Structures are given as structure tokens and as C-alpha cells.
Structure 1
Amino acid sequence: DVYEDPGKVSAYSGVKEKDLSLAIAKLLAKQLEAAGYKVIMTREEDKLVYREGTTEIFDKRKQDLTRRKEIMDNSGADIVVSIHLNDFGQSQYYGAQVFYPPNSEQSKILAVNVQSALREGVDPSNKREALLKSEPIVILRDLKTPTIIVECGFLSNKKEEQNLRNENYQIKIAKAIKTGIDNYFSGLTKKSEESTAE
């Protein structure tokens, strides 16, 4: 089972991360389901879930994030893939990058597989490596399941932003992430077969 978490934080130059990350997550879900994976999504629409009476946007987002983390932990999924888009103060930066939490070897292996597939399937000039994310991010805390964050590209880079708006490019990203997931599970199967043969 694959648990998908499309990011919600918005906006750069009028393009909302939450809309693009949801579009990519849905395309990925479609490809995974077609290949026989069971996919669980934290959201399928643009809607925060929070306690009645909550007024501050920060509190609404925090409650929604906590809810998503609880669902992740109780989903029984084999992996968690959180889909996001990057932005930065300087526009020269570009390229998809995958992050993994500390103290989770399986998360690291998954991240390396997905990063490699993104390089091969989307942009061979992208030299970024899968990177350890040591900041205390809610979805990476107290992990029960191998988890990665996929930053699909930079909205702050004009060329990449245009690509990220394009559905064919989104399909390419989703396909690459799926390939990385396939390779991760193939590696686990191979290891399991090797240990059985010993």
C-alpha cells in the first residue's frame, strides 16, 4: 500500500503549490492503481480539516497536518510519499529533489530510488541527490512507516514553473516517482529472495 500526501502550502506568482501537488498526486495514484498498488490519499480536494471554531489560518493548517499524520500512522501503508513543490528567493535554482528523515534506512533507500528515477525520467541534467531532512517536520516525526518528501521542482524558477503547470510534464513526474517506488519494492523483494536462498 502507498500512502500519498499532497502538500498544501501555497503560492508563488499566482500558482498554488496545493493545486499542482494535488494534480501530480492524483496522476501518481492513477498510475500506481493501474499497476495494482492500493493507494490512500490524505486529501482529494482543496480543503483543510480542523476543529469547529478555529479562526487562525496557522492553527487550521496545524490541525489539518496533525490529522494527516495520524491517518498516515494508522493507515497500514507500506510507504508514505508526500508530494510538494519548492520555491526559493533566488530564481536560478531548479530540479526535483527527494528528502528523507534521519534514523530510517528504508526511507533513505526509497528516496534514493525515487531521486534516481526522477533524474532518468524527467531531467538528466538534474544533479541533485536524495537529501537528509533533519528539521523537525510533523510528517517526519516518530515514523511508523518509511516516508519521503518529493519536491517536484521550483515554482520560483520561471521555466520550471511553466513545466510544472503542464499536464504532460506532471505525468512525466508521476511516472518517474512510480518507477522509483517500483524499484524500491523490487529491491526489497530481491533482498528477501536472497535471504531465503541462503
Structure 2
Amino acid sequence: MQTKHNYIIVFLVFTFITSLTSLEPLHAQDDRFVVVLDAGHGGGDSGNIGNGYREKNIALKVTLQVGNALEKNPNIKVIYTRKTDVFIPLHKRATIANKADADLFVSIHCNAHGSQASGTETWVLGERNMARNFEVAKRENEVIFLEDNYEENYAGFDPSSPESTIAIGIEQEVYVEQSIILARKIEDNFIKKAKRKSRGLKQESLLVIRNTYMPSILVELGFLTNKKEGAYLNTKKGQSKMASAIKEAIIDYKKELDQNIGSYILGVDNDTKSIEVEEPIVIKGVTFKVQIAASSKALAPKAYNFKGLSGISRAKIGKIYKYFSGNTSDYTKVKKLQNEAKSKGYKDAFIVAYKNGNKIDVSDALKSASN
């Protein structure tokens, strides 16, 4: 009887362990990196029709190619806002990404201009260059007038109002940094791998990415109104080249997050000029730190995880963990900590400043050094 009882216990334990093992792949699937791909326009909204090419069709073809390539990676889950020629309201595109708890939102478009302008652009949310770039935001945003109940869905947003577009960027401030990293990777790939002219990274308040709660970008593949560029984007070869450049940038972006690489950290303070002084520069009420890494991994803030650097701290913003070294009001000391981090392999480590718990520009903090 006792032997039978022992067999039952062994069987139950074995069954329990087996169930854990069988559930592991499911758990891994749930943890996949989620990318939402958005083909611009669609249905009754053709987008621009420069030289007779329809933006909605080219955007969809490139988007599907990007998705098909990403889906070959078992650690990536791809979700599309549309896979056919249908019109999806802008607010629903953001909702799709938010419900999926996505890690990235990438919207793909083609550009237009009254001249023979050419070149790629990748946009992130921002308030810079409003006067010069407002017309771009207005053109991409005014598609909301094709939607039913747009007044209700967009809470009084008016694409013709600069005040409305300025207000958009506030909601996504925490994701702008990561968005810029991906945008730069895409533009670099357009230049180096697709051999295209790049007009660079742009910042503007584009409605399609205003309510996405993750790093989000809008890619302009080129100008259909440019005779040569429009023809290129309408070819299978051109579409394949552009899709490959975007796909590889996303893969590279994910790899850096997964591996906790600190060698490519973007920050507005990267170009802060060094102050070569030995005397302490203590600024009361300001705390300086050195950002050394940004990652999707929640590593313990211990020296052994960061090549022996001391005073490690961690902050979570969205799904991204940022890691810092040091905590001091002495700018001279934090510069030494930055040099130490660079000497240990964090070559793009940069200084950040906080006042009353809020991040401020380092340059603003230094202005008070003489007070």
C-alpha cells in the first residue's frame, strides 16, 4: 500500500514538472517583441498620387515585406493595422498598438512636394522646427476629416491649429529618446544599404503616433512627386530594398535592447562640452548622473553587471530600463565618472541632470554654477 502511495506521489510530481516544461514555450511566446506595422492611408484615402503612383499601395507593399521578414524571427510578433486596401481611422491604428502592448509602432508612408524634392525621412514626435515642418504634420493629420465622428475621437483636435499639434508631443515625451534611436538606424540603413538619399531624422506632431504608448516612428520612403524616385518606389526592387533597410534597423534596435548594449545611447547631452577643471563645481539642488545603458532587461543595479562601475541606479520608463552611474551635485566629479564609464566600454555614456526630481538640460544646470 505504501509503495502504491509513493508511486502516486512520484507520478504527480512528474506530471507537475512536465506541465511546467510544456508551458515554457507558451510563456516565451507571450514575451515576444511586438512590432505593430502601419501601412499609411488605404481605402478611400489614397494618400498622395504623385506621378500617378498611389501612396497607399506602395506603403502597403513595403509594410507587408517588412512584416514577412520580421515574422521569420521566432522572438518577434508582428501585428498589422491593415493588410489590405481598407481605410483605418488614425485613432484606431494607435488603439491596435496599445491593446497589443507593443514594443514598437512603425508607420510607413511616401512623401510629396510641389518641387522635385527627393530623399527619405523618418519622423518622431516633437515640437522642434514647428514653423518649417507644420505643413507636413497638417497634410498627414488632415485625413481625420474622412472619419465619422472625428470631433469625438480626437477631442477637438484641429489639424489646421498649431496649438493642437504642439500639445500632442507632451504625451509621448518619455518615448522620444528610443524613437530617435530607431529612426537614426533606419535612416543610416537607407543611406548605407539601400543607397538612397536621406533628408534625415525629423521631429513633428504627427497624429498617427500621438496616442501610441511605446516608441513610435513614421517613415517617408521618398517623394512620389519626384519622377525618378517615384518610379523607383513603384518597382519590386525598390520596395524590397526599402523594406530590408527598415527590417534590419528594427532587428538591430531589438538586439541592443536584449543585450543591454551601452555603446549606442542617445541623449541630448552627448555633445555637452567638457569643462577641464580640477576645482569642484557644486550646484546646489541639482543631481548629476551618467547614463550608461538602456535595455529591455531588468538587471540588478550592481557593479558586477556593469563592468565594475559604482553607484549604479535603475529607472523604468515604459518598457525600457535606464541605468545610471553616480549621484552627485559636483559636475567635476560626474565628468570623471563619465570618463570612467567610457574607459570601460560605454563609449557613448552621457551626463543627465535632475532638479526637484525632474530631468533638466545639463546646460541649464551649469548656468547656475556661478550663483
| Aligned residue in 2 for 1:28 | 66
Deviation of the 1:127 alpha carbon: 4.3
| Aligned residue in 1 for 2:250 | 181
Find the residue that maps to 2:57 and give its secondary structure. helix
Give, in whole Å, the separation in 2 of the partners of 1:121 and 1:13. Answer: 26
RMSD of Structure 2 on Structure 1 (CA): 1.8
CA contact under 8 A between 2:51 and 2:230: conserved in structure 1? no
| Aligned residue in 2 for 1:96 | 120
Which segment is superposed worse, 137-146 or 1-10?
137-146
Deviation of the 1:167 alpha carbon: 0.5
TM-score of the superposed pair, with normalisation by structure 1? 0.84
Match of 1:163, as an amino acid? Y
Match of 1:129, as an amino acid? G
Find the residue that maps to 2:113 and give its secondary structure. coil
Deviation of the 1:35 alpha carbon: 2.6
Give, in whole Å, the separation in 2 of the partners of 1:80 and 1:113. Answer: 15
Q: Number of aligned pairs? A: 180
CA contact under 8 A between 1:2 and 1:80: conserved in structure 2? yes
Q: How does 1:95-134 map to 2 (within 5 A)?
A: 95-102=119-126, 103=173, 104-123=176-195, 126-133=197-204
Match of 1:5, as an amino acid? D
Give, in whole Å, the separation in 2 of the partners of 1:12 and 1:127. Answer: 19
| Aligned residue in 2 for 1:45 | 84
| Aligned residue in 1 for 2:209 | 140
CA contact under 8 A between 1:69 and 1:138: conserved in structure 2? no
Q: 1:161 aligns with which of 217, 230, 233?
A: 230
- Once the two structures are aligned, what percentage of the paired residues are identical? 32
Match of 1:69, as an amino acid? A
Match of 2:226, as an amino acid? N
CA contact under 8 A between 1:81 and 1:149: conserved in structure 2? yes
Give, in whole Å, the separation in 2 of the partners of 1:159 and 1:10. Answer: 16
1:79 aligns with 2:65: no
| Aligned residue in 1 for 2:37 | 4
| Aligned residue in 1 for 2:337 | none
Deviation of the 1:68 alpha carbon: 1.6
Match of 1:17, as an amino acid? E
CA contact under 8 A between 1:3 and 1:81: conserved in structure 2? yes
Give, in whole Å, the separation in 2 of the partners of 1:40 and 1:17. Answer: 21
Deviation of the 1:128 alpha carbon: 2.5
Give, in whole Å, the separation in 1 of the partners of 2:81 and 2:58. Answer: 15
Where has structure 1 moved over 6 Å in runs of 4 or more?
Answer: none
Deviation of the 1:169 alpha carbon: 1.2
Give, in whole Å, the separation in 1 of the partners of 2:79 and 2:232. Answer: 27
Give, in whole Å, the separation in 1 of the partners of 2:227 and 2:215. Answer: 33
TM-score of the superposed pair, with normalisation by structure 2? 0.46
Give, in whole Å, the separation in 2 of the partners of 1:127 and 1:174. Answer: 15
Match of 1:128, as an amino acid? R
Relative CO higher for 1 or 2, CA cutoff 8 Å, sep ≥ 6?
1
Find the residue that maps to 1:13 and give its secondary structure. helix
5+ residue gaps, structure 2: 1-33, 42-46, 127-172, 261-294, 307-371
Find the residue that maps to 2:238 and give its secondary structure. helix
1:69 aligns with 2:101: no
Give, in whole Å, the separation in 1 of the partners of 2:40 and 2:217. Answer: 12
Structure 1 or 2, whichever has the larger Rg, is 2
Give, in whole Å, the separation in 1 of the partners of 2:211 and 2:92. Answer: 15
Match of 2:178, as an amino acid? Q
For residues 95-130 of structure 1, the C-alpha deviation after alignment (integer angstroms, 9 at most, x for no partner) is 111111132111111111111111111125x24221
Give, in whole Å, the separation in 2 of the partners of 1:35 and 1:71. Answer: 21
